[in-house]
Chains A and B, each alone.
Chain A
């Protein structure tokens, strides 16, 4: 009988490892397919390569034999630890992230906070000790934090979409390694935490949501207390703790299905709503803008170039475009560097980190390559091609997109307001100055302006910005 039990355990364990590795390998293979190229170039989907290694680590940890379990529990400790973890997660997501805006695309403290969310939920729902037993899984969740990969491998495409996909994959596959009950716990806690995570992001982006978050949290806590899963007041005796634990263990997936379903919905909706605001604008490469302008991307190269401002040399990406100019197609090259693009480039972001706010220009230089000759344009050079200026402006604005309030007017007279909070108010003048400079240049290049008409149905950020220029130009009495 004992041999059968051991054999069965090994088989289950082996099956879970196999599932984990299969999913990881599939995920790795996915990025090599043509269909995923766009995602790969714009995100850190390459980080999925880490998954098999993570799987190995978790498998070894889980395979270290029978785990010791002490039946010492304390609900006060569970609640206090949850509050501390929750506070840390909230701080990382809602407070430190936006405050560290210049480094946020690189640091991605919100992603780093994900294990904290899960740990907090797990600890409050199932206890500190079971949570500690899931540390390997939490560690794998933490392994989706992109910064180490960005720091370690400048040539690896990095970004922001993949950590989310990856964390979901790793959560599920790690859970597959755990025992059935732990799997269910992790799943419930993970989905719940993800919901909380998304709610929090919503609260950050839309202040009206903050009271809603509070109400939801109060309802959840009240429900849990009603069910005696959480009890404040006097600490439980060992007997009480023992009596109440089976109640927690009786949780079945079926009984939790409605909660999981609602949590999953909550988790998904804000994701879509916020994706444009929080991610797309900050990570979309200028290529998108180029396509608006009718440019054709010829290719990209990675170059080392000085970042300026006393910062050491860093990696930049040079994009070559075919652009219509004066009735001919010419080739220009744009060098792009800066924090907003580091996650996209996988370049070494340290200079950007140390440069700090106000010292980093996302686009420092533009290079016009035509027939093998390269001209370097200065920002203050009035002869700078308008396309380059517009593109640079876009790139610059995309870096600062969270901090401006830009009113956009589209050609069919429909007004679209893209409201982007500027809590510091520091960049309004700089933006206005930039607009003035662009308009000054455009006044000397008015013959080219027909190229920048936009379709009103498409209010993408790049197009809208271009439209702003056009509209401003049309209303400019000095043109």
Chain B
């Protein structure tokens, strides 16, 4: 921590970093493994290794059976979400007329947090995105949160006259962990708005989004604490990766999140465009700066404390990652964050189930820690399939007795077909039919996911709070 900070800044910095950990250490990812978690995991690991040595065949059969059950469970769960997400009413719709009908003087102050790090085109991005919001300027409390050790962006922002008229440039002191949630917590302390939202600097939110959120909050009432707007990509046609990423994202925000709301499962919030009641946000102690998917963690914590979340039918345009290495870095952070979130919330499993209900807890397990784990284990499935094809069934015959072989084949065929089919439907519903053919290439995309999941697992052990910075603006560099 910097020694040149004033006492107030030092206190604010401490609150930004350790606010949650001080108030409720069990819900903070400051420690990856808490209490006896390390002992339990080590015991399970050692037991598995011992069994593998003693009874290799039977242990492997049990493991494969477990993996099969988990995979089938995940596919079934996703299919349930898909069906639920298709139902009318799974998202909150606010028409343009309703949004504009609220007189300006009745609109509350809205805090917009814009964390940015190494964004040289900051002025252009903000003016083209957040600058276009249809909301009275005097009711907007926009805080551009920059890092003290990013002098280039700080100087660029302070020198940009148009930008400084719109936003308040806030310089966050350098301290570990240097993460987006820490910057957001710093901004939250001084937030003036009744509602708070967060955007990335290069985001282009739909202009009426804040008004729609206000109408939705007023319509549902105080029990609703959070609205997640839909994130989608503007550069979907740039290359194959952006096509695949777009179809996945559209499925996530237009289908999966509404499905989660419908089934009563806590939703992992997206990184941006989540609108929150500021008092609720403060009550849950803001974002966890040690969690690299602080947004997903926040969605769960809100639900644990009894706040509802919903999906708002409004969109924000983002840039789809168009570079595979950059994509793996970004996705590994997400996977690592999901694992962190999973480890944090199962520290008190009985209490967790009591708070969320068995359906919510199961859904949480399947979606949050389950996603990276299954992605990593997907490598094993692919490997066994490849060995089966190329090496001949005899290599694996001992591990796949008939009662296991046929369900495995069925699960592989049906699971993959169902996933591809669901994404084709998503392409049609998102009015992007040209992406339908891309869905058949999703297995290639899953390979990248597997790589990201393995990287996340390694990094969770070696550097849990390290924030893999995603490079933005690649679409501009390549066009």
Contacts and interface: CB of A to CB of B under 8 A. Distances in A.
A452 to B, nearest CB: 39
A234 B463 contact: yes
A109 B332 CA distance: 33
B462 A234 contact: yes
A72 B325 contact: yes
Interface in B447-465: 451, 454-455, 458-459, 462-463
A91 B382 CA distance: 13
B357 interface: no
Interface string A319-347: 00000000000000000000000000000
Given A235-B466, A235-B468, A91 B390 contact: yes
Nearest to B466: A234
Contacts of B397: none
A70 B324 CA distance: 11
A239 to B, nearest CB: 10
Interface stretch (A21-29, A58-66, A74-82, A260-268): A74-82
Contacts of B458: 76, 232
B328 interface: yes
A72 B330 CA distance: 12
Interface in A80-109: 80-81, 84, 87, 91-92, 95-96, 99-100, 109
Contacts of A73: 325
Contacts of A76: 332, 455, 458-459
Interface in B27-78: none
Contacts of B392: 99-100
A81 B325 CA distance: 11
B390 A72 contact: no
A74 B463 contact: no
Given A91-B386, A96-B391, A233-B463, A72 B451 contact: no
A74 B325 contact: yes
Nearest to A73: B325
A81 B451 CA distance: 8
Contact of A70 (B391, B395, B454, B477): B477
Contact of B325 (A87, A99, A129): A129
Contact of A77 (B391, B395, B451, B466): B451
Interface residues of B, number: 27
Interface residues of A, number: 26
Main secondary structure, interface of B, reads helix
Interface in B185-219: none
Nearest to A70: B323
A130 to B, nearest CB: 11
Nearest to B458: A76
Contact of A128 (B325, B387, B391, B477): B325
A113 B386 CA distance: 15
B275 interface: no
Nearest to B178: A237
B174 to A, nearest CB: 14
A249 interface: no
Contacts, number: 71
A68 interface: yes
Nearest to A99: B391
A73 B458 CA distance: 17
Interface string A208-248: 00000000000000000000000011110110000000000
Contact of B329 (A68, A74, A95, A96): A74
Contacts of B462: 232-234
A68 B383 CA distance: 33
A16 B468 CA distance: 40
Interface in B463-479: 463, 466, 468-469, 471, 474, 477-478
A80 B451 contact: yes
B326 interface: yes
B326 A96 contact: no
B328 A74 contact: yes
Interface in A263-315: none
B354 to A, nearest CB: 37
Nearest to A98: B391
Nearest to B455: A76
B448 to A, nearest CB: 10
Given A96-B391, A100-B390, A233-B462, A80 B325 contact: no
B130 to A, nearest CB: 26
A96 B390 contact: yes
Given A100-B392, A235-B455, A77 B328 contact: yes
Contacts of A77: 325, 328-329, 451, 455
Given A80-B454, A234-B466, A91 B328 contact: no
Given A100-B390, A232-B458, A234-B462, A70 B474 contact: yes
A84 B390 CA distance: 16
Among A80, A91, A238, which residue has the most Cβ atoms of chain B within 10 A? A80
Contacts of B459: 76, 234-235
B446 to A, nearest CB: 13
Contacts of B390: 91-92, 95-96, 99-100, 109
A70 B474 CA distance: 9
Interface in A375-390: none
Nearest to B322: A70
Given A234-B462, A235-B468, A72 B391 contact: no
Contacts of B466: 234-235
Contacts of B332: 76, 235
Contacts of A237: 469
A16 to B, nearest CB: 27
Contact of B451 (A84, A95, A109): A84
Nearest to A127: B325
B220 to A, nearest CB: 41
Given A100-B392, A234-B459, A72 B468 contact: no
Contacts of A68: 477-478
Nearest to B389: A96
Contacts of B471: 70, 72
A68 B323 CA distance: 12
Nearest to B454: A80
A95 B391 CA distance: 7
A91 to B, nearest CB: 7
Interface string B352-376: 0000000000000000000000000
A441 B471 CA distance: 78
Contacts of B468: 235
Contacts of B328: 74, 77
A128 to B, nearest CB: 6
Contacts of A232: 458, 462
A238 B469 contact: yes
A475 B478 CA distance: 80
Given A234-B462, A234-B463, A72 B323 contact: yes
Interface string B138-175: 00000000000000000000000000000000000000
Contacts of B474: 70
Nearest to A235: B459
Contacts of B387: 91, 95
A355 to B, nearest CB: 15
A358 to B, nearest CB: 13
B386 A80 contact: no
A232 B461 CA distance: 11
A438 B156 CA distance: 91
Contacts of A74: 325, 328-329, 455
15 contacts: A68-B478, A70-B474, A72-B323, A73-B325, A77-B328, A77-B451, A77-B455, A80-B451, A81-B451, A87-B383, A100-B390, A109-B390, A233-B463, A235-B329, A235-B466
Given A91-B390, A235-B463, A237-B469, 18 more contacts: A68-B478, A70-B325, A70-B326, A72-B323, A74-B325, A76-B455, A76-B459, A77-B328, A77-B455, A87-B383, A91-B386, A95-B390, A96-B391, A100-B390, A232-B458, A233-B462, A234-B459, A238-B469
